Copies of this chain bind each other. A is one copy, B any other.
Amino acid sequence: GYGRFGASYDSSKSGDDSKSWIEQRLRFNIDALTTTDGGVEFGGRLRLQYDNRDTAAGRTTNTAPALFYVSYGGLRVEVGNVNTAIDSDPLIYNSEIGITERSFGDPRSNFWTYNSGSYGTDNRSGIYAKYSIAGFTAQASYIDPDQVSDAHPGADLRSEQSVAFSYETGPLTVSTAATWNGAGKKSNTVWYAGAAYQFVEEFTAGLNYIDEGYDGTRNGADYSDLGKTITLYGTYTIDAVSLTGYIANNDADDNKSDTVYGLGAAYDLGGGTKLLGSIERGYGSKSSDTSEETIAQLGVKFNF
């Protein structure tokens, strides 16, 4: 697991909400595994996590539903609170910076991921499979929002499907992924393709393209197409210092500006500890009349 804490600033907060606060997350993964005589590995994971951003379950450390896995050779199958294919793509989050590892160049769409807290009222369950061979990795996931009941009070939830493929050869990595009915919303489809190239040992750059899904309700007044996102990013590393910058363009109607950018720095203190600083400028929002937000963070992340 890891811990992270530091100062966080968001210019878009207003009214009673503070623009700055102490960002905090402490994550413990409790893993258990055993190996059969035939070399098949069976395992399970629980997670205990405190995050100051969690509002559910009364402001304390939350537990996560269980993830089970079977692993043999290059194949890994997960059951329960599984990872999803698009969320496990090796390049899709490569432009992230700062202590909370975020980026305006990330996908803006809704889709499910491994769930660090309670499911809420759903009896959610998923299956995920990953197969790797000779630099090539294929992933697929299927999430049933309620595996016991077909009655979803107040929500027309669908099963989410996702696939991802990636290939790594020398300095080049390419990947593509897609999700259908993202986060259980009908016809909420996300397409993604990306590539990264390590030009020299110190410098890697990449490009991501995302055909986003939608926000709000599909046929509702709050429906909002999230457009297409193109993100260019690069990371330059010298000794213990690493600089990451990105610029991204998204054409959603709700944006006040279509172009966003960010710059992050990481200083490796050793022992799995990094000092992280970042500053980013966002899209703003016409519908909520929010100017292009500035987000800045400075803090520490330590792994254990």
Residues of A whose CB lies within 8 Å of any CB of B are 1, 3, 5, 16-18, 21-22, 24-26, 28, 30, 32-38, 40, 42-46, 48, 50, 52, 56-66, 68, 70, 79-80, 117-125, 127, 147-151, 269-273, 300, 302-304
Determine the distance from Cα of A288 to Cα of B250 in the docked complex, in whole angstroms. 57
Are the CB atoms of B44 and A151 closer together than 8 Å?
no
Determine the distance from Cα of A21 to Cα of B30 in the docked complex, in whole angstroms. 25
Determine the distance from Cα of A3 to Cα of B42 in the docked complex, in whole angstroms. 9
Q: A18-B150, A50-B65 are in contact. List 12 more A-B contacts (CB 8 A).
A: A18-B147, A21-B147, A21-B148, A24-B68, A24-B79, A26-B32, A37-B271, A58-B118, A59-B119, A59-B122, A60-B117, A61-B63
Are the CB atoms of A59 and B120 closer together than 8 Å?
yes
The quantity of this chain's copies bound in the complex is 3
The 3 A-B residue pairs whose C-beta atoms are closest, nearest first, are A37-B270, A26-B66, A50-B66
Given the contacts A17-B148, A59-B121, A270 and B36 also touching, CB distance less than 8 Å: yes
Determine the distance from Cα of A80 to Cα of B59 in the docked complex, in whole angstroms. 12
CB distance from A183 to the nearest CB of B (A): 16
Q: Which residues of B contact A21 (CB under 8 A)?
A: 123, 125, 147-148
Are the CB atoms of B148 and A18 closer together than 8 Å?
yes
A-B contact pairs, 30 of them (CB 8 A): A3-B32, A3-B43, A17-B148, A21-B147, A24-B68, A24-B80, A25-B66, A26-B80, A28-B46, A30-B48, A33-B304, A34-B272, A34-B273, A36-B269, A36-B273, A38-B270, A43-B302, A44-B302, A44-B304, A46-B48, A50-B65, A50-B80, A52-B80, A52-B123, A58-B120, A58-B121, A60-B62, A60-B119, A63-B63, A70-B300
Determine the distance from Cα of A40 to Cα of B151 in the docked complex, in whole angstroms. 54
Can you name the residue of chain B whose Cβ is closest to the Cβ of A240? B37
Determine the distance from Cα of A270 to Cα of B42 in the docked complex, in whole angstroms. 11
Q: Which residues of B contact A270 (CB under 8 A)?
A: 36-38
Given the contacts A48-B46, A269-B38, A65 and B57 also touching, CB distance less than 8 Å: no
Determine the distance from Cα of A119 to Cα of B61 in the docked complex, in whole angstroms. 10
